[in-house]
Structure 1
Amino acid sequence: MKGPSAWCIDHPVATILLTFALVLLGVIAFPRLPIAPLPEAEFPTIQVNAQLPGASPDTMASSVATPLEVQFSAIPGMTQMTSSSALGSTLLTLQFTLDKSIDTAAQEVQAAINTAAGKLPKDMPTLPTWKKVNPADSPVLILSVSSTQMPGTELSDLVETLLARQISQIDGVGQINITGQQRPAIRVQASADKLAAIGLTLADIRLAIQQTSLNLAKGALYGESSISTLSTNDQLFHPDEYSQLIVSYKDGAPVHLRDVAKVVNGSEDAYVQAWAGDRPGVNLVISRQPGANIVETVDRIQAALPGLEAMLPASVEVKVLIDRTQTIRASLHEVEITLLIAVLLVVAVMALFLRQWSATLIVSAVLGVSLIASFALMYVMGFSLNNLTLVAIVVAVGFVVDDAIVVVENIHRHLEAGDGMREAAIKGSGEIGFTVVSISFSLVAAFIPLLFMGGVVGRLFKEFALTATSTIMISVVVSLTLAPTLAALFMRAPVHNANNKTTFGDRLLAGYEKGLRRALAHQRLMIGVFFLSLGLAVAGYIFIPKGFFPIQDTGFVLGTTEAAADISYGDMVKKHLAMAEIVAADPAVQAFSHSVGVSGSNQTIANGRFWIALKKRGDRDVTASQFIDRIRPQLMKVPGIVLYLRAGQDINLSSGPSRAQYQYVLKSNDGATLSTWTQRLTDKLRSNPAFRDISNDLQLGGSITHISIDRSAAARFGLTASDVDEALYDAFGQRQINEFQTQINQYNVILELDTQQRGKAESLNYFYLRSPLSGEMVPLSALAKFDAPTIGPLSIAHDGMFPAANMSFNLAPGVALGDAVILLNQAKAEIGMPTAISGNFQGAAQAFQSSLASQPWLILAALVAVYIILGVLYESFVHPLTIISTLPSAGLGAVIMLWICGQDFSIMALIGLVLLIGIVKKNGILMIDFALEAQRSRGLPPEEAIYQACITRFRPIIMTTLAALLGALPLMLGYGTGAELRQPLGIAVVGGLLVSQALTLFTTPVIYLWLERLFHRHSHPPAPAPATALATTD
Structure 2
Amino acid sequence: MNISAIWIKRPIMTILVMFGILFFGINSYVDLPINNLPAVDFPTIMVSASLPGASPETMASNVAKPLEKQFSTIQGLSSMSSQSYTGSTSIILQFTLDRNIDACAQDVNSKIAAAQGDLPTNLPSPPTYEKVNPSDQPILYFALVSETMPLTQLNDYAENYLAQNFSMVNGVSQVITYGQKFAARIQVNPKLLAKQGIGIDDVERAVKTANVNLPGGTIDGSFQAFTIDSNGQLMIGEAYRDVIITYKDGTPVRVKDIGDAISGVEKDKQMAAWYSTREKTQRAIVLAVKKQPGSNTVLVAEGVKELVPRLKSMVPESVEWHLLYDASDYIEESIQDVQFTLILTIIIVLFVVFVFLRSFRSTLIPNVAVPLSIIGTFAVMSILNFSLNNLSMMALVLCVGLVVDDAIVVLENIVRRMEMGENATDASFRGSQEIGFTIMSMTLSLVVVFIPILFMPGIIGKLFHEFAVCIAAAILISGFISVTLTPMMCSRVLKGFHEKKEGRFYAVTEKGFQTMVGFYGRTLRWVLTHRRVALAVTVLVLVFSGFLFMKIPKGFLPTQDQNFMMAWVQAADKISYDDMIRHQSELNELVKAEPDVKDFISVASMNSYNNGIVFVMLKSMKDRKRSVDQIVADLRPKLNSVPGLLVFPQNPPPIQIGAGNALAEYQFTLQGSDLTELYKYAGTFEEKMGKLPGLADVNSDVKLNMPKLFINVDRDKASALGLSLDQIQNAFFSAYASRKVSTIYGKLNQYAVILEVQPQFKSDPDALSYLYVKSTANKLVPIGTISTIEQTVGPVNVNHTGQLNSATIAFNLIPGHSVGEAVDATHRMAKDVNLPQSIVTGFQGSAQEFQRSFSGMGFLLFVTVLVIYMVLGILYESFIHPVTILTALPLAACGALLTLWVFGMELDMYGMVGIVMLIGIAKKNGIMMVDFALEEERTKGLNSEESIYQACLIRFRPIMMTTMAALFGTLPIALGIGAGGDARQPMGVAVVGGLFLSQIMTLYITPVFYVYFDELNRWLGKRSGRKEKTV
Asked whether the two chains share a fold, i.e. TM above 0.5, the reply is yes
Could you tell me whether the CA contact under 8 Å between 1:554 and 1:648 is conserved in 2? no
In the alignment, does 2:943 pair up with 1:941? Answer: yes
Cα contact 2:662–2:701 (8 A) shared by 1: no
CA contact (8 A) 2:341 2:977 kept: no
> Distance between the aligned counterparts of 1:286 and 1:696, measured in 2?
31
1:468 counterpart = 2:452: no
Q: How far 1:1020 sits from its partner (Å)?
A: 8.5
Separation in structure 2 between the aligned mates of residue 318 and residue 796 of structure 1, nearest angstrom:
39
- CA deviation map 1:157-206 (0-9, x unaligned): 21111111110110011122222x21111000111111111101111000
Provide the residue aligned with 1:699 in structure 2. 703
Paired residues of 1:752 and 1:758 also in contact (CA < 8 A):
no
Q: Is the 8 A contact 2:183 2:237 kept in 1?
A: no
Corresponding residue number in structure 2 for 1:667: 671
| Distance in 2 (alpha carbons) for counterparts of 1:464 and 1:142 | 30
- CA separation in 1, counterparts of 2:596 and 2:511? 52
Match of 2:308, SS state, is: helix
Corresponding position: 1:861 with 2:869: no
Query: What is the one-letter code of the residue matched to 1:41?
Result: V
Letter in 2 for 1:254: P
Distance, in Å, in 2 between the alignment partners of 1:680 and 1:288 is 42
For 1:593, the equivalent position in structure 2 comes to: 601
- CA deviations over 1:514-571 (Å, ceiling 9, x no partner): 1111111111111222222223223322343222112222222122100001101111
The one of 432, 436, 441 equivalent to 1:433 is 436
Corresponding residue for residue 534 of structure 1: 542
Q: In the TM superposition, what are the counterparts of 1:858-1007 in structure 2 within 5 Å?
A: 858-1007=860-1009
Q: Per the alignment, do residues 935 and 497 of structure 1 end up closer, same or farther by CA in structure 2, a change over 3 Å counting?
A: farther
Deviations 1:65-101 (A, max 9, x none): 1111111111111111111011111111000000000
What residue number does 1:842 align with?
A: 844
Deviation at 1:813, TM superposition (A): 2.2
Q: Is contact 1:646-1:659 (8 Å) kept?
A: no
Which amino acid is the alignment partner of residue 715 of structure 2?
R
Match of 1:571 among 567, 571, 579: 579
1:297 aligns with 2:309: no
User: Per the alignment, in what secondary structure is the counterpart of residue 284 of structure 2?
Assistant: strand
Contact 1:546 1:904 (C-alpha < 8 Å) held by counterparts: yes
Alignment partner, residue 1032 of structure 1? none
Shift of 1:496: 5.2
Q: Distance in 2 between matches of 1:463 and 1:417?
A: 44
Aligned identity (percent) is 39
Shift of 1:797: 0.6
| Counterpart in the other structure of 1:398 | 401
Evaluate the alpha carbon distance shift between residue 543 and residue 767 of structure 1 in structure 2; reply closer, same or farther with a 3 A threshold.
same
Cα distance per residue 1:192-246 (max 9 Å; x no partner) = 1111111011110001111222112333234454433222222222234322211
Please give the alpha-carbon distance, in whole angstroms, between the structure 2 residues aligned to 1:536 and 1:167. 58
Name the structure 1 match of 2:361. Answer: 358
- Pairs within 5 Å for 1:1015-1030: 1015-1017=1017-1019
Counterpart for residue 35 of structure 2: 36
Aligned to 1:136: 135
The letter of the residue matching 1:535 is: V
1:233 aligns with 231
Paired residue for 2:830? 828
- Aligned residue for 2:1029? none
| Amino acid in structure 2 at the alignment position of 1:745 | N
Quickly say closer, same or farther: Cα 1:1018–1:566, change in 2 above 3 A. Answer: closer
* Equivalent residue, structure 2, for 1:244: 242
Instruction: After TM superposition, list the pairs within 5 Å mapping 1:336-355 onto structure 2.
Output: 336-355=339-358
Deviations 1:272-306 (A, max 9, x none): 31111111111111111011000010011111111
CA distance 1:352–1:726, change in 2 (3 Å):
same
3-state SS, counterpart of residue 757 of structure 1 = helix
- Which of 168, 189, 210 lines up with 2:208 in the alignment? 210
Of 316, 321, 324, 1:321 maps to 324
Q: Mapping of 1:407-422 within 5 angstroms? A: 407-422=410-425
Contact 1:553 1:649 in 2 (8 A): no
Moved more, 37-46 or 500-509: 500-509
Aligned to 1:78: 77
Equivalent residue for 1:1029?
Answer: none
Aligned counterparts of 1:587 and 1:363: Cα–Cα separation in 2: 51
Equivalent residue in structure 1 for 2:558, among 550, 553, 556: 550
The 2-side partners of 1:699 and 1:547 are apart by 31
What SS does the aligned partner of 2:545 have? Answer: helix
Q: Secondary structure at the match of 2:4?
A: helix
Q: 1:497, CA displacement in angstroms?
A: 7.5
Say if 2:3 and 2:433, in contact at 8 Å, map to a contact too.
no
d(CA) in 1 for partners of 2:356, 2:141: 53
Provide TM-score, normalisation by structure 2. 0.97
Alignment match, 1:165: 164
C-alpha distance in structure 1 between counterparts of 2:298 and 2:580, whole Å: 37
Contact 2:402 2:966 in 1 (8 A): yes
Distance (Å, rounded) in 1 between the aligned partners of 2:700 and 2:970: 42
Which digits, 9 at most, give the CA deviation of each residue in 1:438-458, with x for residues without a partner? 011001111111011000110
Q: Helix, strand or coil: the match of 1:674?
A: helix
**Partner residue of 2:854 out of 845, 852, 855:** 852
How far off its partner does 1:645 sit?
1.3
Deviation at 1:1018, TM superposition (A): 6.6
Q: Tell me which residue corresponds to 2:104.
A: 105
CA contact (8 A) 2:713 2:787 kept: yes
Letter of the 2:583 counterpart: K
- Structure 2: how far apart are the matches of 1:719 and 1:477? 87
Structure 2 match to 1:690: 694
d(CA) in 2 for partners of 1:161, 1:646 = 34
Matched-pair contact (CA < 8 Å) for 1:560–1:643: yes
Q: CA deviation at 1:250?
A: 1.4
- Work out the CA distance in 1 between the residues paired with 2:485 and 2:964: 23
Please tell me whether the aligned partners of residues 338 and 978 of structure 2 are also in contact (alpha carbons under 8 angstroms).
no
Match of 1:510 among 493, 518, 523: 518
State the Cα distance separating 1:966 from its structure 2 match.
Answer: 0.8
AA aligned to 2:260 is K
Question: Which amino acid in 1 is paired with 2:724?
Answer: T
Gaps of 5+ in 2: 1024-1031
* Cα distance between partner residues in 1 of 2:767 and 2:138: 45
Question: Distance between the aligned counterparts of 1:395 and 1:603, measured in 2?
Answer: 46
Aligned to 2:294, the other structure's residue is in SS state coil
The aligned amino acid for 2:444 is F
Q: 1:382 aligned to 2:385?
A: yes
2:55 corresponds in structure 1 to 56
* Structure-2 separation of matches of 1:896 and 1:552: 24
Moved more, 830-839 or 324-333: 830-839
Per-residue Cα deviation, 1:417-456 (whole angstroms, up to 9, x for no partner): 1111111111211111111110110011111110110001
Q: Is the 8 A contact 2:237 2:264 kept in 1?
A: no
Aligned pair partner of 1:640 in 637, 644, 653:
644
How far apart, in 2, do the equivalents of 1:850 and 1:91 lie? 27
Output the CA distance in 1 between the equivalents of 2:416 and 2:214. 93
Matching residue's letter, 1:992: G
Secondary structure, aligned partner of 1:438: helix
More displaced stretch, 111-120 vs 499-508? 499-508
Q: Does 1:288 align with 2:286?
A: no
- TM-score (norm. length: structure 1): 0.96
Partner Cα distance (1:238, 1:381) in 2: 55
Which amino acid in the other structure matches residue 456 of structure 1?
A: I
Kindly provide the amino acid, as one letter, of the partner of residue 615 in structure 1. Answer: K
Deviation per CA, 1:125-176, whole angstroms, max 9, x where unpaired?
Answer: 2211111111122221111111111111111121111111110110011122
Partner of 1:495: 501
Equivalent residue letter for 1:503? K
Q: Separation in 1 of the partners of 2:515 and 2:291?
A: 58
Partner of 1:220: 218
**CA distance in 1: counterparts of 2:238 and 2:591, whole angstroms:** 43
Q: Is the 8 A contact 2:635 2:649 kept in 1?
A: no
Q: State how far apart, in whole Å, the 2-side matches of 1:317 and 1:109 are.
A: 41
Deviation at 1:502, TM superposition (A): 5.0
Give, in whole Å, the separation in 2 of the partners of 1:795 and 1:814: 34
Q: What is the CA–CA distance in structure 2 between the aligned matches of 1:538 and 1:6, rounded to whole Å?
A: 48
Residues 730/497 of structure 1: CA separation in 2 closer, same or farther (3 Å cut): closer
